[in-house]
Amino acid sequence: MRRRLPPLNPLRAFEASARHLQVAKAAAELNVTPSAVSHQLRTLEESLGVALFDRTRRQLKLTAQGAALLPAINAAFQTIADATAKLGDASMAGDLVISCPIALTSRWLVRHVGEFLRQYPQVNLRIIPSNDDKEIYASAVDLCIRYGNGRWGGRRVTALCSVALFPVCSPMLMNGPHPIRAVRDLEHHLLLCEDDGTEWARWLLGASGSLAEFRATSLGNAHIALEGAIFGQGVALGDSILAKDDLTEGRLVRLFEASIPAEHAYHIVCRHELAETPLVGGFIAWIEGKIRDGQTP
């Protein structure tokens, strides 16, 4: 026969009290009086036949029995919370089509999107690597992530993040035959541009230099420029999103502290009627949280 379980309210009082080690704070969290919490703790102790706390005037201290019980109670409440959350996620299922710039797709999204799909296994996700505005107005696309000025008429536009730009290269290049220690050392290396050189010109201007003094080549895409830097072909401008994993894992190194804000920012763009649906809203919440966490020092 199944053993008789302790009542739920005393268990909640115990868990909150064990976290705060103060009856008053536990009572405030549970929205009951301190005397009610104290009564529930005594009820639980009597039910179990052991003391769970050593009590002083101002603070609680777990006994050995209380410390042994707490992990199981925490795990039980987490299991209940997870099960409840899954009930609420029942509508997180179906097809979701997202258009995302090639660089952000290849250097960030594909490295992290598995987390979203593990959390929502019933979502059938399709990613279109593109920064073409035609997809913003395509009925088959549910949501777009775009790098730009934020002006897309007839759509709900939410700022996702801004980025800072700074020079990066491979450790091999930085410490090679022509080591890079100062801006003038860039004269010995190729500057890899994702555009016509505008961003590099802005960075060099802030560093008291001029693009005309250096050799540069346009590769047309930030992903390609960063790949070239990883393979020692030159120095690219990385940013706090696209280059983050490569910097963390040592494939790239940051050359100088100086940075400039990128001309534009990343935005989430979708039809107004889709923004609050479970699928689109759930993905927006996930990517906003993931980007925010990744930018936290």
* Alpha-carbon span 262 to 164, nearest angstrom: 6
pLDDT at residue 109, rounded to an integer: 94
Q: Where in the chain is the domain with CATH 3.40.190.10?
A: 92-161+265-295, 163-263
Domain topology for 163-263: D-Maltodextrin-Binding Protein; domain 2 (3.40.190)
pLDDT tens digit sequence for 161-219: 999 999 999 999 999 999 999 999 999 999 999 888 899 999 998 888 788 889 999 99
pLDDT at residue 84, rounded to an integer: 58
pLDDT tens digit sequence for 82-130: 565 555 555 788 899 999 999 999 999 999 999 999 999 999 999 999 9
Q: Which of 256, 51, 278 is nearest to 164 (CA)?
A: 256
For residue 234, how many C-alpha atoms fall within 13 Å in the half-sphere facing its CB? 20
What mean pLDDT is reported for the chain? 88
Domain topology for 8-89: Arc Repressor Mutant, subunit A (1.10.10)
CATH architecture label of 92-161+265-295: 3-Layer(aba) Sandwich (3.40)
pLDDT at residue 97, rounded to an integer: 96
* Alpha-carbon span 180 to 186, nearest angstrom: 7
Q: Which of 98, 108, 224 is nearest to 163 (CA)?
A: 108
User: 113 is written with which tokens?
Assistant: 């999107």
Confidence grade of residue 4 (pLDDT, cut at 50, 70, 90): low
Mean pLDDT of 15-37: 88
Q: Where in the chain is the domain with CATH 1.10.10.10?
A: 8-89
